[in-house]
Amino acid sequence: PDSAIDWSYENPQSWGINSPQCNGNRQSPIHIRSTTSYILPIAPIRFGNYDVPLSTNLNLTNNGHSVEYTVPLTTNGQRPYITGGLLRNRYEAMAVHFHWGSATTKGSEHVIDNRRFDVEMHIVHKNVQYATMEEAARNRDGLAVLGVMFKIVNVPDRLYPGLNRIFNQLPAIVNYQSSVSVTGRLSLGQMLGDLNTKQFFTYSGSLTTPNCAESVTWHVFPGALPIAREQIQKFWSLLDVNGNVLNNNFRPLQNRNRRPVFYRIAGRTSDHFTYDEPTEWYNEFPQCGGHKQSPIAITTHKTIDVIAPPILFGLYDAPMSQPLNMRNNGHTVEFKVPPTVLGDKPFITGGILDDIYEVEQVHFHWGSTLRKGSEHVLNGHQYDIEMHIVHRNKKYDNMKTAILFEDGVAVVGVLFKVVKTDQVYYPGLNVVYDILPNVQQFNSSSSADELISLGSLLGNINREDFYTYQGSLTTPPCAEAVTWIIFSDILPISYRELPKFWNVLDEHGKNFVNVRPIQNNGFRKIYHRKPLFRFKYFGWQK
């Protein structure tokens, strides 16, 4: 890279005058959008020697554009390295540097799903087949960079001792060309904190400073490490070559130019989330920040009436071939639906559905004595319970594949309202309520005593009157793959049964409310399918 005097962040658009590659068509950074990335089962990144201590202290330097250090050998005489991902060789860690903003600007170089982070750390690696960084930069497969995001938090709930050692030394290198020794046995792995490295975006790009060599395979992690404000603001006091404050040292976004971005979703499986801060899910699961998220509030007079044949509920009224087995997974109680006695699983098709959707599982959402528990809100009412019957489009082999496609999943949602009667006679639902006390503990499961049909969980609901819209799973990974079917009728649940849901415990032995907040509807259309003849059912009607 060119010397510090030759370029600055004042006019990055002129870098191409001295470094023509900066005007190339594979430049970095770019705006990464999870919705237009190719989700692929890429190999995870393998980290070699990342946890072996480095053999010497780090020499942290202010180079006028950034803060950086060269990565020394580890105590076993080798360099930390990475393989895996889309890399075809071993890449050794060479240097680490940072990009930041200011008190008023976030400073990451890459933007993920419209979000810029406060700081971006780059760990630069060289392909072992090239002798020097200069030679590597001349080859398209020469370099691999890991991009790690930091976000400011006022009170961090996690401490990263390795990173804090570096932040603590920043005041010692305020001036250009000053350097400081960071003591203590650090390993390169400590720079990654508890980052979920199993989930990343990868694409082919460039160095983000002159000479902008198009030799970088980028790996950008969507999960951001929470760092205390007082640490991040130390970056904002550093000075550049001319003694001016070195702020906003990030290059503007570059054109993607139809380059594919690949997305590895995995790792901290979607079991690892809590309802404490659902608004933060998208840090770990970027799709949770998408534009077609669920649940939503449905208002009848804002929906579009649609004339469509009814949905066929196939085999819904045939008994299941074995008793349902309910499990507490720490987020809900659920059961997988076995085949019916006729050999196949229940399914839905027809009406608004173009394909056959086979049932996978049933689960519930609930509140507490203080909060209502339905996820969807209907005409301003949040109800007490919401049951989800999840179906997979049969043209996809499994749920993991189905959630990658917008026609992959169909969920039937049933809302329940508490009533003052001791028992509401619904044979199927009563079987479910009877099992609940046996699955209070996390990971416990319990089987019913009798066979029921899936349809018996719908009580006497009018299956022909429902709302439908395109949305997402309401839990991570929040895949936007769901055709929602929400019945207009509300089923009653006895005040004696409702608290059985409230008594269910999570993995920490605590009660929980498993309701995701209402999501923005954006410009989505919500349709209302009404029966042509309103048939008054006997019994309870909303």
Catalytic residue set: 65
**Block residue for tokens 């006019």:** 11
Answer for the pair 227, 160: CB distance below 8 angstroms, yes or no.
yes
Answer for the pair 492, 419: CB distance below 8 angstroms, yes or no.
yes
**Block residue for tokens 């207009």:** 488
Answer for the pair 376, 414: CB distance below 8 angstroms, yes or no.
no
As a whole number of angstroms, the distance between CA 404 and CA 37 comes to: 11
φ and ψ at residue 471, rounded to 5 degrees: -150, -145
**Block residue for tokens 């949040």:** 382
Answer for the pair 149, 119: CB distance below 8 angstroms, yes or no.
yes
276: tokens are: 């404490």
Q: Does 309 sit behind a cis peptide bond, omega within 30 degrees of 0 on the bond before it?
A: no
As a whole number of angstroms, the distance between CA 220 and CA 50 comes to: 18
As a whole number of angstroms, the distance between CA 388 and CA 485 comes to: 10
Residue 377 belongs to what H/E stretch? strand 377-378
Single out the residue of 7, 20, 209, 190 nearest to residue 99, CA to CA. Answer: 209
As a whole number of angstroms, the distance between CA 213 and CA 140 comes to: 9
As a whole number of angstroms, the distance between CA 363 and CA 352 comes to: 23
Q: On the CB side of 6, how many CA atoms lie within 13 Å of its CA?
A: 11
319: helix, coil or strand? strand
Answer for the pair 28, 199: CB distance below 8 angstroms, yes or no.
no
Alpha helices in 58-185 (DSSP H): 133-137, 161-169
The torsion of the CA quartet 507, 509, 511, 515, rounded to 10 degrees, works out to -10
Residue 232 belongs to what H/E stretch? helix 229-232
DSSP 181-237: EE-S---GGGGGTT--TTSEEEEEE--SSTT--S-EEEEEEEEEEEEEHHHHTTGGG
The torsion of the CA quartet 327, 328, 331, 334, rounded to 10 degrees, works out to 30
Q: How many CB atoms lie within 10 A of CB 271?
A: 11
Answer for the pair 527, 471: CB distance below 8 angstroms, yes or no.
no
